[in-house]
Structure 1
Amino acid sequence: MSAEAHSPKRWNEKRKESLSGYLFISPFFILFAIFGLFPMLFSFYLGFQRWNGLGEMEFVGFQNFVFVMEDPIFWKSLWNTIIMGVLGTVPQLIVAIFLAFALNSALVKFQSAFRAAFFLPYVTSTVAVAIIFGVMFSSQDFGLVNVFFNLLGLDSVNWQTNEWGVKIAIAVMVFWRWLGYNTIIYLAGMQGIPNDLYEAATIDGATVWQKIRFITIPMLRPIIIFTIFLSTIGSLQLFTEPLIFLGGNLREEGITVVLYLWREAFSNMAFGTASASAIILFLIIIVFATVNSLLANKVFK
């Protein structure tokens, strides 16, 4: 190696290039530190304090965590979150695979238009989606879903106060909004599967279900695990949909864990309890996401 490569001038040029690269990416890390990392660390600190947002903080140890764990409303919110997540996520991932398979098929025309149509709900404002579904699932007889029920001879449902009505309405909202997102992800994965496999399966007389079961799903295994992981995290963080649908009336039938900690912070002004709830939710998300990923890894092995 020549002496020029080790010269101070060459070394200074490398340092300048590295410094310019770090300067270009620094805005992301600065914003993340201010609006991401600091709130997370501060929330962990607040979990052990009693604070109303204005006065002095008082160290209370694990009292906030004990209060949350002994609060029946917290366990009710956790149960609601899990049920809504299962109802809105599991059917969504299953239907997304079949939709992606159909969009990837050469038999379907206007594929670009269908892809844009399926993805459109994801880019639509969550508040707008919640308002529209709030009208559709109105508890009044003129609500769209209740009108359909009445045509079938069924009684109207009070969607905002009924125990299962609230959960089903919010789950349908989540299903509709995220279906296209997962469909596009699966579609991108399917486009990487060689067509020779499907052609060979067709020659052997395989049905559509057999192609999906023995070719598509095994080849999409990493992507399926990825979507299950993300869907688990997202389902445990439900906030905007139930908040808008319930109109700020945080009834026990529809309150989620994030709504619970939001109520503790901004309604009861108990930021310590809210932070403790956030820490507990963080641990729950880790457990659920890990378990779901391990189960998915075994099922699609």
Structure 2
Amino acid sequence: MVVQVDGPPPGAVTTRSRPPERGHRLARLDVRYSPYLYVTPFFLLFAVFGLYPLAYTFWVSLHDWDLLGVDPAFVGAQNYTQLLADADFWNSVVNTLGIFVISTVPQLLAALWLANLLNRRLRARTTWRMAVLVPNVTSTAAVAIVFAVLFGREFGMINWLLDLVGVDAIDWKANRFAAWTAISAMVDWRWTGYNALIFLAAMQAIPRDLYESASIDGAGRARQFWSITVPLLKPTIIFAVIISTIGGLQLFTEPRLFNSGTNAIRGGPLRESQTMTMYMFENAFAPHYNFGYGSAVAWLLFALIAVVAAINVLILRRLGGGARKGDR
């Protein structure tokens, strides 16, 4: 009697059933193209609200465009040539770069020091970390009013403190360098804590083993900071420099509110603290209403920001001392 047994005979090689080819194709397509699908909404929004306004502003800068109702007339590069010969424009460039240097360099150094302090074992660390953000969430208008009072000529607290040490009163709004200093103090007070938290977040990601090894080798806190913390923070420092460059060169609210009265948009009676954004606003809107000329100022400001940001990145990379070929 022969008994038939279901299944393969002993020793036979079995093969697993493969999934359908269609499933393989869908899986490959999902891995290859789904990331682009996820980031597509950002690029669509950036094209609508970023690239299109940028291109349209350049097109407007090639026209003599009066916002009061006169039809725009194409003038080509006339706005740019006229702008490069405008003494008030170059004055605004000098003011912008001066305030930017005075405010940004101390701001980033203070933020780095503050972040290193908050990274230590302090009592109520969470409270202190939250406290550094208070200036940033405070209304800019309120901050400008308070600083305008502090730097007042007659009854300002800063002049009162200077008088205690024998220094004559300073007209903070009429003197160019004094106006730069007062506005820079306002900017630093608002943004130092914000940059400090960015540096602090990067410091938290540095492995503690590196500091323990350095301590065993006899390195103090200062040596650990400059030899471990700062080199590993290089990408974050570059990011903070770029963000501070963009914000510092677009400064408008602080100097506008610091100078009250009819000369507010001019940055004082002699344009002591008028930035490029203020000069752009003055020409594009009241009192000139020349939208084409103001758009040309905006494009030159865009070019200045790109150049300064690129220079800052190159300087930081050279200071960081990239890896040499022999060290790789």
Q: TM > 0.5 between the two? A: yes
Check whether the contact 2:180–2:273 (CA below 8 A) recurs between aligned residues.
yes
2:158 maps to 145
Which residue among 102, 112, 115 is the counterpart of 1:97? 112
1:16-165 pair list within 5 angstroms: 35-53=49-67, 54-106=69-121, 108-140=122-154, 142-165=155-178
Where do 5+ consecutive residues of structure 2 fail to align?
1-18, 322-328
The whole-number CA distance in structure 1 between the counterparts of 2:297 and 2:311 is: 21
* CA deviation string 1:14-70 (max 9, x = no partner): 9xxx8xx88x985x7776555544432221111100011122010001110011110
2:196 aligned residue (159, 162, 183): 183
Deviation per residue, 1:213-272 (Å, 9 max, x gap):
101001101101111111111111111000000122513110001111111111211111
CA distance in 2, matches of 1:239, 1:263: 12
Asked if structure 2 preserves the Cα contact closer than 8 Å seen for 1:217 and 1:300, the reply is no
Larger Rg over CA atoms: 2
2:212 maps to 1:192: no
Q: Shift of residue 6 of structure 1?
A: 9.0
Q: How large is the RMSD of aligned CA atoms in angstroms?
A: 2.3
CA contact (8 A) 1:97 1:183 kept: yes
More helix by share: 1
Match for residue 256 of structure 1?
275
Number of matched pairs: 288
Gaps of 5+ in 1: none
Higher relative contact order (CA 8 A, sep 6+): 1
Deviations along 1:87-128, one digit per CA (max 9) or x if unpaired, are 11101111111111111112x211111111111111222222
Compare 161-170 and 145-154 and name the one that shifted more. Answer: 145-154
Relative to structure 1, the CA distance from residue 199 to residue 154 in structure 2 (aligned partners, 3 Å threshold; closer, same or farther) is: same
Report the counterpart of residue 2 of structure 1 in structure 2: 20
Moved over 3 A (4+): 3-7, 28-38
Whether contact under 8 Å (1:77, 1:254) holds in the other structure is yes
Secondary structure at the counterpart of residue 115 of structure 2:
helix
